[in-house]
Structures are given as C-alpha cells and as structure tokens.
Structure 1
C-alpha cells in the first residue's frame, strides 16, 4: 500500500472529511482534531498498512506514521483544501480541548513550541558543527567563516520572541503579523539602549523596567495571549468604516504599555524563576532530571506529558547556552528503545515483525523513537521494563557526570555533535551513558523475554510466548 492509499484509508476510518475539525503533524504523527470521536475506529486505523499506532490524547486523535508522516499529511491536505495551514487551528478560547485543563494546557504548549523546533534544532546543529570544527582545529575562531556561522546560529535564539509570536498567534487565533510586530518591539535596539538590564526608566511618569527580551520565551507568549482578547474586543466594538486603521492603532496603544509595564517584566521574572530552579536542581542533585527522563520518557511520550518540558528546555537553551532538562536523559532513553528493538529482532520468530524491529531499532538509535515505541515495545509491553531500567541507569550516569546538551535537536547518535563543548569529557560521558543504556536494556530484554507476535498472527494480533 502506498502513501496515497494509506491517507485515503485513514480518512475513511476516522469518519471522513466532514469529521475533521483541524489537522497538523509533528515529526512522526498526524494530529487530528475531530468533531466527534464516535465514528473514528482506533482498531481499524491501527490495521492500516503504514500506520504504527493510534493515540488519543490532548483532545486529539493521533495517528503514528513514522518518518513518512509529511507525505501522508500532504496527501490528506490535497484532498481537503479547507485544511490549509492558515485555516486549521482551533479557537481554544471558545472551543476548549476535550479532557479538561491539563489536556488543554498540553495541547497549547505543543501548538506553540512544536512549530519552532526546526529553528531551535537548526541553530543547535550549526553550533554543534562549529564545536566539532573547533575541536578538530579545522576552523579559525577569529576567521570570517566562524564569525558568519556563529551569528547565523545565534539568530535562531536571538529572535525567538518573533518566532514564538507567530506560532502563538496561530494557536490563539489572532493576527500573526501584529503578534510578530509585538515581538519586534521587544527586540528593538533602541529599547535596550535606554539602560542596563534591570534598570527602571520613566515614561509618562510610569516606571518601565529595561529587560533584555532577546532569546526570551514566556513574555511574548503572555503578550500574544492577551493581545488575542484585545483584538477580539476591538473587532466587535469598532465601527466598520474605520476598523482597518483604528484596530491596529488601538491594539498597539493598548498592548505596548501592557507589554512594557506588566506582561514583559512579569514573563521575564517567570522565565528567570524557571532557569533558576533548573540551576538549583543541577547544583543540589544533578542526577535527578536525567535519571527520571531516562526512565520515564517513553511513558511521557505516550501521554503527551513531554510537551510540558518544552518551555523549560527552550528557556534553558536560550538563557544558558545549554540544557539539562531533556537531552542528557532523553539520549540514553532513545538508545534503550533501540536496544530493546534490536534484541526483539534477534529473538522474534516472526519474519515481518523481525524486520520491523530492526528498522525501528536503528531509527531509535538515531533519535526517532515512535516507530520503536508504538510499533514494537509498547505492543510487546515487557521490553518497556528493560527500557525504563536501562534508560534510567544511563540517565543517572549522565546526571552524575554533568552531561549537557548545547543545542536543540534530536536525542540520538545522529545528534551527538550537540554534546560537544569546551570540556571534551562531556561528549565522552554522553557516549558512556549510551553504552550503559544499550547494554543494560539489551541484556534485560533478552533475559526477561516477551510474548512474540505469532507467525500465524490474526488481524487481532494473537501472540505466542518466547522463553526468557
């Protein structure tokens, strides 16, 4: 079955085009917001060739495709032009996400931060490349090549408020360009030239705190969220004859004082609290976060809770230049996923499942784990025990040795350059954490065993025991 047929089958089994409210995708999943979950058959969608699994979380019906997700997404968009990217966001102020406040919060965080992750990853990978070139003495720190590549990478973080303004505007259903304008005024050099960060200046007898908003995360999200209500208020009350001119003027006259007097400083303070908390954890017990993430990342991914870490992760990278929130634990966890799949591939007697385990295992080692998680390990269940132990032990070692990730991007062997820093032991310790996670997980999976997928498997997925 090709991707076109896969897309058509998915459309049919989720209730057809008329049941789709909106559609987005991430690295491996199609994320449907449906008018009703009743017509959508999880069991039948799971049986479609090319589909690795189905998850209902955050008020979404998520279909796990793997690395070809963008191709399937484009096939669906071609069939439903009304689902163009500019028209497919749901108004979360008037249509709350199903499942309560937690699901709504997670869905909002994912909707704001997921679209900007290519920017964070691209900046991080350029930084990683520079670190490797410097370590190998292949580039001159004082040369023009280093200078250009360095400021190109820095631009990904420096203008972060503008990127976040665009994605937040889509999520909160307000004018994207006005939101980016509000991000731009925070970064204007004339504002930062008024004084040192933390100084107060008087404007119309009002105290304005000079804050460095470049690379900040929380202030612009708070500003755009507030602006979405201001825009809605003005849309309803301004006369149509002058709305084109009056609405942007009134929006700016309201939002600029609010941004500089209240929302910006408050958001900056909250960002400082998050970064300060992370630094405190790192000083008191640096092993906690990597160990917990290493052990429980698969379960966080299954429930969508990993999105709750994105603000802290991005804040740490942009403020400190490194992060210990996700990377040092996620790296051994992904390696553990790959190790479990490769062990399954050796023990399984099902030829097709063996092949799936090999490809999913290699993908997980390189940093893409959802095919491994949903296609193999969650399906067999027992390997998850080995993954939690192996990933946790690898994360514990990474935490004790103070492993840091210096850029955004994947968490696998393909992105090891992100761990190259001034201290050469950082990348070495990251590799050791991978070895620990791989060996522990592989051996535990081998001895614990699992219930193999029978070579005479029915559509319902019967299994046959494999001895440990």
Structure 2
C-alpha cells in the first residue's frame, strides 16, 4: 500500500478530516486528537498494511507507521481541510492532558532541532578530515545550524499557539519581541531598564524554552478578554493590539524572567546529576524506558531535553538510556525468534528485532517483550547495565532523533569517543539481554501431549481442560463479565499486563477470588495484588485512570501481607461518585504471571455474582 492509499484508509477509519482536531507526526508515529472519538475504529487501523500498531496514549491517538510517517501525514492533509482545534469530546485525566500538551508543543519542532544537530555533527566530521574552522564554508553552515536553536522560542510560539488555542501569528510576534536586536543590545549593555517604573530583567531569551510557553499561555486568556471587550466595528485592529500591549510587558517584567529562572533550575539540576552521579539517570532510563513509553510518560521529559539542548548543545537525560533500551528490545526479539518453535511467531519476532535495532521498538515491545514478563525484565536489566556504562563514560546525545543504529550520528560531537562509548553501551545491553532472555526470560510452553486432558468440558466454554492444572478464579465483584478486548484501555485490551477478564460492577464491593495472600494494596487503593495458594498472581484493577483520584472514594479492608479466604471483603469503592467524576469503573481481573501457565480460558460474557467462576487457569 502506497502513502496515498494508506492515508485514505486511515482518514476513513478516523471519521474523516472534519473529525480531526489536531494532526502531527514524530519520527515514527502519526499523532492526532479527534473531535468525536466514537468515530474511530482502532482495531481496523491496526490491521492496515503499513501500520505497525495503534494506540491511545496520553489523550492522543498514535498510529505507528515508521520512517514514512511524514509522507502519510502530508497525504492526509492534502485530502481534506483539517480545522485544527484544541478541543475534544473526550475527557482526559490531568496527567494525560499535560502529556498531550507537551507532545503537541514539542513534536512539531523536533525536525528543526534534528536538522540543526545533524549539521553540527557533519561539521565535526568535516573538521576531523581537515576543514578549517575559520573558513567561510564552516562559518555559514555553523550559523545555519545555530539558527535552529537560537530561534527555538519563535518555533515553540507557533506550536504552543496551535495547541493552546490563540492566534499563532501574535504568538510568533511575541517570540520575535523576546529576540529583537534592540532588546538583545540592552541585555549586552547591562544597564538597568525600566518600563513605567517597573524593572525589566535583562535576560537573553535566545534558545530558551519555558518563557515563550508561559507567554503563549497568558496570551490565550488575554486574547479572549480582548475579544470580549472589543466592539465589533473595531475588533479587527483593537483585539490584536490590546493582546500585545497587555502580554508583552507582563512577559518582559514577570513571566519571561520566571521562565528563565525555571529553565536555569532545570539546567542546574541536570548539570548536577551529570557531574556528580553521571551513571544514575542513563541507568534508570535504560531500565525503565519500556514502561515510560508504554504509559506515555516519556513526553514529560521534553522540556528538560529542550532546555539541555539550548543550554549545553547536548542532553544526557534520555538519549543514552533510550538508545541502549531500543537495542535491548531488538536483542530480546532476536533471542525469542531463535528459541521459539512457532514459525509465524519466529518471523514476527525476527522482523521486530530488526526494526528495534533501527530505533522503532513498538513491534518488538507490543508483539514480543511485553507478552512475557521475564523477557521484559531481561530487557530492563540489559538496558540498565548498558545505561550505567553510558553514564560512567559521559555519553551524550547532540540532537533529537529516534535512537538506533541508523541514527548513531546524533551521538557524534566534539568528543570523538562519545559515539564509540555509545556503541559499547549498546553491545553491553545487547549481550546481557540476549543471555538473560535465553537462559531465564523465554521458555516456550510445551503443548504436545504433555498435559492430560479431562474428558469433561469446562462448563462455561465447552473446552477440554487439563486435569492436573485446572485453577478456577472466581469473580471478585457482582456485575456483568466482559472480555478484556472491550476494556477502554490499551494495556488491558491487548493483554499487555496479562490475560484474564473484566467485570462491569453492579456495586462497590471487591472480595477475594480465592484463598491466598494480599501481595500489595496500592497507595491509591485502585489496585490490589494477590497471590493464590497455587501460585497464581492476580491483579484487580478498579476503574480506568482512577489512579488520578489518589485514593478518594476507596476504602481498603486489607493490608499488604494479609492472608485471605475466598469471599473475604478486600475493598469498597463509591461507584456513583467515581463515575460522576468522569471515570469508568470497569474492573479488569488479570493473571500477571500468565506466561507461567498453559492458557487462560475465559467464560462467556454475561451476569455474574461475586464468588461465581470468572475464568480458568490451566
């Protein structure tokens, strides 16, 4: 399927161009916010040839296409007028909304930052081969690269305005005000400057990040105010004039210096970590990057990365660790491909391994590593080890880009050993992950005649089940049982956390589904972890995104380490209050150590009472 055909199919399945509130792309993913989310058919999108995967993350629909994503995005824009808006009919949690804002503001400017960084890397290579730094060719290319960083406030002004909902050209004007030569001369002179008696702090806003975002945030409210008070006959010129006259002084006197101070704090903390415990952050990133990507939390680091690029010309927060993590995903996928006897899975894992080494980890993550907890743990341990080495050696990334073998030039800079140490850290991570996956992580279940089948059939499914390993999990709540695929959360619907079933609760009482131990009651009380006497590890997750309630409306009746009997009361929650707050109360019941068992046989959908069979573990 070519770019045009793929774009046409995607456009139909998201409800047409008129349903797209926002559209952009990063290195591998098409990202869009929709006005009416009921119109999208995510399952059919996943089945399209050319689509590697699709999910809703951080309040945004993400369609994984690969390096051709920009071409598909361009084709979609050509097919219909997209009236971009910051509104959506879907209520997202505060954390999701914040991640969505970060993604929408920073993603559009990444190509410019990447181009600037790559030109810098090319200049370094040219100097190594004899180019004179004083030559005019070097000077011209150097200021071309510098422009991508120096005018970052202008680019962020435009993307911030598009996301937050104000006039993008007034926002760009505000970015120009911060970088105007007259103001920069004042900064260079250092003489005190006052505006109507108020001191204007002299700050160099070139390459800054936080000040312009704060400025555009203020402009959203000021522009609305100016629109309300401006009479219709003169609104055309009065509204923008009032907006700039109000916003510009406030930014120069208050918000600009405040944003500069925040940026300085971020840079200082980053510098402290890099100089005192340089191994810590890359090690943690290398280990936990799969979980950050899975939850969308990696977007929260974008302001830190941009601040580091603009301050130092490089970053060591995410780049080194994410490079190693991506390579470890490939190592695990290749190992699984070698060990598995399933031909189809072998081909899938091999292909996923190749794309992971190139920096696109979604096929490996969703198709291989997350399906097996021990494989994922092997990836995390390998990533942590490689990240530890990268941190000790001071590996940094000089520009943004999807970390992988094809993008190693983003690690080329003034220190010629930087890219060498990056490669060594990848080798460490690859080897450790491969060995751990081979000997510990992946053990394919044997199904050929090893288990004696009971001649009787499961009462709910009609399937034969093993006589010696049949463990019934009972429903922990009254309500209606549904398949996990119908749960409005990708982690559960795709069985990433494990197999099981969900219950739409009729009341707010959660009881023990078997005899066993309470392993953990989360601080926010929305999740209970249990272990049965037979060793089944079970997670009862009350609601979707209810972690944001921080324990409100939940009452725990057990603690970590308590022993319980089937039917004992574990938790009570206020179903009506939670739903009134905008959250779903469906209760997924997940076997988190699914990989330790032959199969999970679910029952038919329908009414269920607490204590009745929900599914069977084989």
TM-aligned CA deviation for residue 263 of structure 1 = 0.9
The alignment status of 1:123 with 2:116, answered yes or no, reads yes
User: What does residue 286 of structure 1 align with?
Assistant: 278
Of structures 1 and 2, the one scoring higher in RCO (CA 8 A, sep 6+) is 1
CA distance in 2, matches of 1:18, 1:248: 28
User: What does residue 256 of structure 2 align with?
Assistant: 264
TM-aligned CA deviation for residue 342 of structure 1 = 2.3
TM-aligned CA deviation for residue 240 of structure 1 = 1.8
* Aligned positions of 1:163-182 closer than 5 A: 163-182=155-174
* Aligned positions of 1:375-386 closer than 5 A: 375-379=367-371, 382-386=374-378
User: What does residue 69 of structure 2 align with?
Assistant: 69
For residues 107-161 of structure 1, the C-alpha deviation after alignment (integer angstroms, 9 at most, x for no partner) is 00100000000011111111111122223x3311121121111111111101100
User: What does residue 24 of structure 2 align with?
Assistant: 24
User: What does residue 162 of structure 1 align with?
Assistant: 154
TM-aligned CA deviation for residue 46 of structure 1 = 3.3
The alignment status of 1:33 with 2:33, answered yes or no, reads yes
TM-score norm. by structure 1 comes to 0.88
One of 413, 424, 439 as aligned partner of 1:432:
424
- How much is the aligned-residue C-alpha RMSD, in angstroms? 3.1
Number of residue pairs aligned between Structure 1 and Structure 2? 455
User: What does residue 90 of structure 1 align with?
Assistant: 86
TM-aligned CA deviation for residue 382 of structure 1 = 4.3
The alignment status of 1:106 with 2:102, answered yes or no, reads no
Secondary structure in 1 matching 2:228? helix
Distance 1:217 1:230, change over 3 A: same
For residues 296-345 of structure 1, the C-alpha deviation after alignment (integer angstroms, 9 at most, x for no partner) is 11111111111100100010011112211111211111111222222233
Greater shift, 357-366 or 318-327, is seen at: 357-366
CA distance in 2, matches of 1:451, 1:116: 44
CA distance in 2, matches of 1:413, 1:253: 50
* Aligned positions of 1:303-318 closer than 5 A: 303-318=295-310
TM-aligned CA deviation for residue 387 of structure 1 = 1.2
Greater shift, 403-412 or 197-206, is seen at: 197-206
Distance 1:54 1:418, change over 3 A: closer
Greater shift, 237-246 or 209-218, is seen at: 237-246
Larger radius of gyration between Structure 1 and Structure 2: 2
Greater shift, 405-414 or 255-264, is seen at: 405-414
User: What does residue 586 of structure 2 align with?
Assistant: none
* Aligned positions of 1:143-222 closer than 5 A: 143-196=135-188, 200-222=192-214
TM-aligned CA deviation for residue 401 of structure 1 = 1.8
User: What does residue 60 of structure 2 align with?
Assistant: 60
**8 Å Cα contact 2:396-2:418 kept in structure 1:** yes
CA distance in 2, matches of 1:132, 1:295: 31
**8 Å Cα contact 2:27-2:401 kept in structure 1:** no
**8 Å Cα contact 2:120-2:413 kept in structure 1:** no
Distance 1:282 1:197, change over 3 A: farther
Distance 1:359 1:148, change over 3 A: farther
TM-aligned CA deviation for residue 420 of structure 1 = 2.9
TM-aligned CA deviation for residue 377 of structure 1 = 2.9
CA distance in 2, matches of 1:18, 1:224: 26
CA distance in 1, matches of 2:418, 2:323: 13
The alignment status of 1:343 with 2:342, answered yes or no, reads no
Secondary structure in 1 matching 2:200? strand
CA distance in 1, matches of 2:597, 2:131: 53
User: What does residue 253 of structure 1 align with?
Assistant: 245
Write 1 or 2 for the structure with the bigger share of helix: 1
**8 Å Cα contact 2:25-2:108 kept in structure 1:** no
CA distance in 2, matches of 1:228, 1:171: 10
Secondary structure in 2 matching 1:244? helix
Secondary structure in 1 matching 2:400? coil
TM-aligned CA deviation for residue 23 of structure 1 = 3.8
TM-aligned CA deviation for residue 100 of structure 1 = 1.6
**8 Å Cα contact 1:380-1:451 kept in structure 2:** no
CA distance in 2, matches of 1:71, 1:351: 33
TM-score norm. by structure 2 comes to 0.67
CA distance in 1, matches of 2:134, 2:445: 58
For residues 386-430 of structure 1, the C-alpha deviation after alignment (integer angstroms, 9 at most, x for no partner) is 211111110011112221222232322223233333333322221
Greater shift, 299-308 or 332-341, is seen at: 332-341
Secondary structure in 2 matching 1:242? helix
One of 265, 268, 279 as aligned partner of 1:273:
265
